[in-house]
Amino acid sequence: MLRITDARTGASVDATPARRGLTRVEAHVSGFDTGALRVLLVTDLLVRALELGGTPVWAVLRTHREQPELRAGAAALGIRPLEDAREVGQSLGEKQVIHVVAEDHATPDGVLVAVAPVHAVSPAPLAGADPVALRLALLTPRRDRPVQLDTEALAEAHDTLVRWRRAVAGWARHPSRPIPDHIRTDLRAAWEDDLDVPGVLRLLDRVADEPELPDGARFETYAYADRLLGLDLVRDLGHPS
């Protein structure tokens, strides 16, 4: 069961309400910059994690500035659309409300997920950057730690994507094998423990290097983890190496 640290109280709380009722996740941003995109990315991860656990989710965007630019930037990063809070009703009978905010944002009532800032060479997303590499660069640190976003961080994320996609394409040529129970358990334990995405990324590196693991199981592990990460890791299937 997914548990989240409430930034208001410091307590660990269930992100999944009793009886699998609806959870509303609200992203609060002031405008369009890379920090706002990180808030939306954490929202996207939270929604994906809840859905993977079988919880119905209603995801809402609360902002009053630069909506078209913000939504376009979010789409480029593979962040799924959020409903406009101004166009939806106040309630659909949800059992839980989780607010995702930047650390310096005014805090609404309810469970609070705070996202540390992005220190970038430009307040806007870096021009010409691979959006999936930008997504990975923003995912790599814990959400409560600032991101140092520069050309070096983007190059490292790009190189990781190339390495993983090439490996996944190679493993896909082998017969499929089930994900070993201990690996599936470790994956779920990581992202259900306060959405520990860095822990998921470390586990993927471990899976790539585990000598006794069949290649078909490596492929299934990466494909499964990508349902949370949204990095399009199977993109190169069928392409010449």
My answer on whether 129 and 163 are in the same domain is no
Q: Is residue 234 part of a domain?
A: no
| Secondary structure (3-state) at 64 | coil
Secondary structure class of 14 (helix, strand, coil): strand
Does 83 fall in a domain? yes
Same domain, 27 and 95: yes
> Which tokens hold the place of 164?
């993983």
Based on the domain organization, do 86 and 33 belong to the same domain?
yes
Amino acid at 62: R
C-alpha to C-alpha distance for 146 and 143, rounded to whole angstroms: 7
Q: What is the pLDDT along the chain (241 residues), one digit of tens a residue?
A: 899 999 989 999 988 876 667 889 999 998 888 999 999 999 999 999 999 999 999 999 998 777 888 999 999 999 999 998 776 656 666 778 899 999 877 777 889 999 999 998 765 566 677 899 999 999 999 999 999 998 899 999 999 999 999 999 999 999 999 999 999 999 999 999 999 999 999 999 999 999 899 999 999 999 999 999 999 999 988 765 5
Domain end among 131, 150, 169: 150
Terminal Cα-to-Cα distance of the chain (whole angstroms): 39
d(CA 120, CA 132): 17
pTM of the model: 0.92
| One domain, residues 144 and 32 | yes
When divided into structural domains, the chain yields a total of 2
Sign of CA dihedral 80, 86, 91, 95: positive
